[in-house]
Amino acid sequence: MKKAIFPGSFDPITLGHYDIIKRSVKLFDEVIVAIGINADKKYMFSLEQRQKFIEDSFKDEPKIKVVTYKGLTVDFCAKNNVDFILRGLRNPADFEFEKAIAHTNRDLAPIETVFLLTAASTSYISSSIVRDVIRNNGDYTVLVPDSVRVK
């Protein structure tokens, strides 16, 4: 069974994340969307909200599992028998950043990182842009899956 983890903070999940996850289901038997817990980070949405946004977005997709985790991604992979880390790339800066992490992960564990390019229609979207739009009362709904609604 080919299992992949798609780690991130997903604060919140965007249409770019959604696209990568949807496309990855064709490549892997199971895709674990893993929300990392970082006590030093300030989040707009609670861990429970972020998890619910993702679960609701993929409620009809049995190959997708949503979990939370602390610590190194490679340690999570070892404990859960995961051989692949999935990452989305929007631009050359993402590639340089992700390449360094992928090399480090491979030094730490026998893990492969698989990169998927984001769709052209979502390549400009980031969670930080979505948060800024929300903070300024803009229409963020065109940037996120329907499950992400701020009340």
pLDDT digits (tens, 9 = 90+) for 12-21: 999 999 999 9
In a domain, 71, yes or no: yes
Query: Cα 143 vs. chain centroid, distance in angstroms?
Result: 15
- Residue for token digits 């590639």? 95
pTM over 0.85: yes
CB 2 within 8 A of CB 122: no
Return the beta strands (E) in 14-111 as ranges.
Answer: 30-36, 64-69, 84-89
Q: What pLDDT, on a 0 to 100 scale, did the predictor assign at position 151?
A: 52
Cβ neighbours, 10 Å, residue 106: 14
Active site residues: 17, 41, 90, 127
Asked whether residue 151 is domain-assigned, the answer is no
Provide the residue range defining the domain that includes 46.
3-142
Diameter of the chain by CA atoms?
45
Give me the CATH number covering residue 107.
Answer: 3.40.50.620
pLDDT tens per residue, range 53-108: 999 999 999 999 999 999 999 999 999 999 999 999 998 988 999 999 999 999 99
In a domain, 20, yes or no: yes
Task: Judge whether 149 lies within some domain.
Answer: no
Number of domain units in the chain: 1
